[in-house]
Amino acid sequence: MSRMSELVYPDAPGFKVAGPSEQAAKAITGSANKMRAAVLAQIAQYPGGATADEIAKDLNLLVLSVRPRVSELNRNGEIQQTGARRKNESGMTATVWRVRPQSSPPIGGE
């Protein structure tokens, strides 16, 4: 495919308009699969689940790189919400995620 916008999210990092968002999506494309796998493996280390901020800290990554991978994992059905929320670095509450058992339906519609 000649243009990244022809790839469909979540199979490739997406963007809405040309410019910085497109450049960022192109830059992350090569590492997104590896990062997604690392995020999934780290979430699996938390029996009670983890927030994106906790995972970012554990993996020494920016949360702005981890949150999209969490969204992709959720959209792909690999993780689910626990129903709990915990404070993150900003003081706001964040969704707690866990690896979805294969037969488990989504929680909270996400």
The answer to the question of residue 49 being in a domain is yes
The answer to the question of residue 64 being in a domain is yes
The answer to the question of residue 108 being in a domain is no
Burial, 66: exposed, middle or buried (Cβ in 10 Å; 0-12, 13-18, 19+)?
buried
Position 2 scores a pLDDT of 40
CATH of the domain at 69: 1.10.10.10
The answer to the question of residue 54 being in a domain is yes
* pLDDT by position in tens, the chain (length 110): 344 445 555 556 666 677 777 777 776 667 888 999 999 999 999 999 999 999 999 999 999 999 999 999 999 999 999 999 999 988 999 999 999 987 555 555 54
Total domains in the fold of the chain: 1
What is the reported pTM? 0.72
The residues, any chain, with a CB within 8 Å of residue 88's CB and separated by 6 or more, are 51, 52, 53, 63, 94
Position 108 scores a pLDDT of 59
Position 30 scores a pLDDT of 72
CA 69/CA 82 separation, integer angstroms: 17
Position 17 scores a pLDDT of 72
Position 110 scores a pLDDT of 46
The answer to the question of residue 41 being in a domain is yes
Position 4 scores a pLDDT of 44
- Structural domain including 31 reads 6-99
